[in-house]
Amino acid sequence: MFYNAAEPIFRSENLMYLVKVVLLLAILPSFAIAAFSVDKQSFGKTDDGKEVFLYTLKNAHGMEVVISTFGGDVMSIKVPDKAGKIADVTLAFDNVADYEKPGPYFGAIVGRYANRIANGSFKLDGKEYHVPQNDGPNALHGGNKGFDKRVWDAKQSSDASGQHLHLHYLSKDGEEGFPGNLNVDVTYTLNDKNELELHYVATTDKDTVLNLSNHTYFNLKGQGQGNILDHKIMINADRFTPVDATLIPTGVLQPVEGTPFDFRKLTVIGARIDDDNEQLKLAHGYDHNWVLNGGGKVRLAAKVVEPTTGRVLEVLTDQPGLQFYTGNFLNGSAKGKGSVYNKRDGFCLETQHFPDSPNHPNFPTTELKAGEKFQSTTIFRFTTEK
């Protein structure tokens, strides 16, 4: 009932109405805060007793992203399809213990040196460094306990540009054999354009090498919905870096023209993956670095289209390379979210510097000098097509 000025104000209905209005005014701000604040939950503890948290970023279109403080892992990305149906398009484990084992790096921030360093050794400022050889003869993704196996400090915030999760990790001088105290900040931002942006910043107090990436496995049909072979991909690259038998680049920048590595036009991932091609055989599919066209600024690196759901993922980055990996090493032993992950059930688009750059003077440098600031941006943009 509306307040009628002709009636005495203290009539009981009027009083009730006033009470309701006052209560509503008191509650409204907390709804507004809930809508803009980042939701935080415990994900349990690491083996050595550190508590791990999950943060949920949300936007106005029903898109939701969950990030873990363990490895900065992207745990889920929920996005609509062309009919508005939401599905989780990322592969993940259900508990911290599974992430602590050597594994597929589901969703992780990888570093200090993402991808491989041949024989786990490199020279920097005339000195030879040795880092753990955790992938046959080579170092992979920062060693036995890379950034993917560390608990990051987290702070949340939100503003007109979206909801943010700020992660920080200090990688101490000598950790996993790398020189220099390295402060790493990774900010995840979810905005209302259905973009998940990753902004990386790093500084060191001694010269070091650095290659940072994110290892999210996508399946645009929805995780657990089979393999990704019928997705289509475009990679904005005229060249790629062929590898030897241990997946170390030979140093050649080979034109993709006339090879199964030519994705300059949208092409079905599975169309040529089993071709009689030496590079595909060595990697058991695609697990290579593409030399992205253009440079220095954020530009389109790749576009993936899933025809049945109409979901589209575009990847933009300022990095020189992109590792396109088709989940060739998934073998059914990794499980999560009620799904068993088999070979090629997800793909990764790891924006990065070229693998083994410290041993290839012709590749863009991955050296970060003491006092210099490394900054980089990658955007995962989700849209749909009919």
Contact residues for ligand GLA, defined by CB under 6 A:
104-105, 115, 140, 247, 287, 323, 325, 329, 348, 350
Which of 81/350 has CB closer to ligand GLA? Answer: 350
Sign of CA dihedral 84, 90, 91, 93: negative
Shortest distance in whole angstroms from residue 116 CB to ligand GLA: 7
Which of 55/261 has CB closer to ligand GLA? Answer: 261
Q: Would residue 61 show up in a list of annotated catalytic residues for this protein?
A: no
Ranges assigned E (strand) in 148-298: 153-159, 162-171, 182-190, 195-204, 208-209, 213-214, 217-218, 232-235, 237-241, 254-255, 267-268, 287-292
- Do residues 375 and 201 touch, judged by C-beta distance below 8 A? yes
* CB neighbour list of residue 270: distance below 8 Å, 6 or more residues apart: 227, 229, 230
Dist CA 214 CA 187 (whole Å): 12
Residue tagged active-site, from 141, 164, 195, 215: 215
**What phi and psi, each to the nearest 5 degrees, are found at residue 163?**
-100, 135
Shortest distance in whole angstroms from residue 110 CB to ligand GLA: 8
Dist CA 235 CA 81 (whole Å): 22
Dist CA 344 CA 327 (whole Å): 4
Which of 312/348 has CB closer to ligand GLA? Answer: 348
Shortest distance in whole angstroms from residue 61 CB to ligand GLA: 30
Shortest distance in whole angstroms from residue 103 CB to ligand GLA: 7
Residue tagged active-site, from 175, 197, 306, 350: 350
Residue closest to 335 by CA, chosen among 110, 159, 81, 92: 92
- How far is residue 167 CA from its own chain's centroid? 13
Q: Would residue 164 show up in a list of annotated catalytic residues for this protein?
A: no
Which of 188/217 has CB closer to ligand GLA? Answer: 217
Which of 246/277 has CB closer to ligand GLA? Answer: 246
**What phi and psi, each to the nearest 5 degrees, are found at residue 140?**
-130, 130
Shortest distance in whole angstroms from residue 122 CB to ligand GLA: 18
Catalytically annotated residues: 215, 350
